[in-house]
Amino acid sequence: AQKVTQAQTEISVVEKEDVTLDCVYETRDTTYYLFWYKQPPSGELVFLIRRNSFDEQNEISGRYSWNFQKSTSSFNFTITASQVVDSAVYFCALRRGGANSKLTFGKGITLSVRP
Amino acid sequence: GAVVSQHPSRVICKSGTSVKIECRSLDFQATTMFWYRQFPKQSLMLMATSNEGSKATYEQGVEKDKFLINHASLTLSTLTVTSAHPEDSSFYICSASMAGGMGETQYFGPGTRLLVL
């Protein structure tokens, strides 16, 4: 069975602070994919990143960076110099390899960035 | 990026009526679409997987006669909530995976807020 744990439920920071959102996953598959999605108050899920199990390189995209470590089954997401527009619910998700396989979501982390 | 639309974005209906929600992939073909339900402050719950040209696969506990899914083309899937009741009020969101490949990203629509009075 697959499982995604986002232990943090709510995080509140002041603008310009750095913040890390944790994600720990469980799977018995050797091929799998990890995702982060952002859900702003409007409700739409915005795709942020996809990582496959064979690529442990960290990735940076502007103020966003991701740290994938198979040894600890973690896929953490860091926002540098947070902004008010970063306020949203962030979901980490996992899917096994293979066509049409389902996403397993974590419970989500509500991030509030105060001015 | 891939764009998925949903219509309507918000619907209010009376108890006992049926409501149809459309999910379209606008700039890509989607062999598979997924339907989720989300309650306030909770994660997404997968309801069913919709494959073009075949019957949908429903998750355990989801009534297939209550939530009818049709995936008639590579760009359109519909969810019909039949005989809606207040407990069906929720946020329904669809996603679509591009045809081909083994690790496709699911792109999500903007969601539909259903309120049953």
Name residue B111's amino acid. G
- Label residues A41-80 b or e (16+ Cβ within 10 Å = b): eebbbebbbbbebeeeeeeeeeebbbbbeeeebbbbbbbe
Residue ranges of chain A whose pLDDT lies below 50: none
List the structure tokens of B115. Answer: 């309120």
Indicate the pLDDT class of residue B105, thresholds 50, 70 and 90. confident
Please answer whether residues A29 and A97 qualify as being in contact, where contact means their C-beta atoms are separated by less than 8 angstroms: yes
Size of interface A-B (CB pairs under 8 A): 59
B102: CB partners within 8 A, 6+ apart:
A97, A98, A99
| Dihedral angle sign, alpha carbons of residues B95, B98, B101, B103 | negative
Is residue B102 over pLDDT 90? no
Is residue B100 over pLDDT 70? no
* Span B62-85, average pLDDT: 93
Is residue B59 over pLDDT 80? yes
Which of A23, A19, A53, A25 is closest to A36 using CA atoms? Answer: A23
Q: Do β-strands A109-114 and A10-14 pair in parallel, antiparallel, or remain unpaired?
A: parallel
Instruction: Examine residue A41 and say whether the peptide bond preceding it is cis (omega within 30 degrees of 0).
Output: no
* Span B28-51, average pLDDT: 92
CB within 8 Å: B111 and A106? no
CB within 8 Å: A43 and B110? yes
Q: Give me the pLDDT at residue B54, please.
A: 84
Q: Give me the pLDDT at residue A5, please.
A: 98
CB within 8 Å: A103 and B46? yes
Q: Give me the pLDDT at residue B101, please.
A: 52
List the structure tokens of A92. Answer: 């980490």
Q: Give me the pLDDT at residue B14, please.
A: 96
Q: Give me the pLDDT at residue B29, please.
A: 86
SS3 B55: coil
Q: Give me the pLDDT at residue A33, please.
A: 93
